[in-house]
Structure 1
């Protein structure tokens, strides 16, 4: 009798093991509906442009164009760099870069208001404490900013000084939750 109990117990355990293994295998090989997760990458492609026929520093007008399909926010800054071989160093303090900001538009001191072709769209470059100028509106495909600045004047550096003004820019995907400066943080 004892032997029959052991055999019954072993067969019961074997039956439970077969059911569990079979259920697990059925669960693992079961096929459901195919789920497709589609997404598209953002197309952020911006470039700095400047009229090439303009060699006069007092009339430089660099602007940024969005060539990508995605809407973007843009920031830019100008950096004065002394060239190798210059007898004296040059900094931004040695000149006045006429930035096109809300402050310059309000005073009428300088900026695109002097240009007959300029229309006030509410889009300006806004200076920030981090040294960047943030464009106040987002750019859609093939849109361009107003010029970051419209010239350089009052250059007090020695006439023999050699320097360049580099314009750097960055762009990020625009979102409804953030404005220009917030989008970059």
Structure 2
């Protein structure tokens, strides 16, 4: 089952299990849950020493299991095969979404405003330069001026602080399956690493 399908809006909410493992719930524009990611447990996670950052997440959508290895270059896989990667371009220069063969499917560029802004809105463009949408990172409680996002997301996780509050993907139109899978993975990746880009 594809992670995104025909959805054009996904909200990711960061939470935490009693074991301290980070979780990310994913909902579409109608508020329906389309998937959930959970950090693999370890002693560092259990005792609160590993609060986000590089880690492996199990991502489930409709009974289909994916693995997301969050790292400098993050890798999305299923059934032992690589679907694609999120590849950074350099400090504050954005990243690309590449399929398993390394072909670039889209590029995410930095937030054009100030570092103090919240959220950071990252434009996503196709290889031909046309607009695909935006991926926004909520570093603190914000409504995005969007009632849907405010209703879906805000109940702060547990006693340990979460790395960020979540992210919001907004697309101008449905995208092909592999790119859609990578964009959903990016909703998780950007808010648990966290991986935000800003030009100033």
TM-score of the alignment, normalized to the shorter chain, above 0.5: no
> When you count strand as a share of all residues, which structure comes out higher?
2
Q: Which has a greater percent of helix? A: 1
Given the two structures, how large is their TM-score scaled by the length of structure 1? 0.32
Structure showing greater radius of gyration is 1
TM-score by length of 2: 0.30
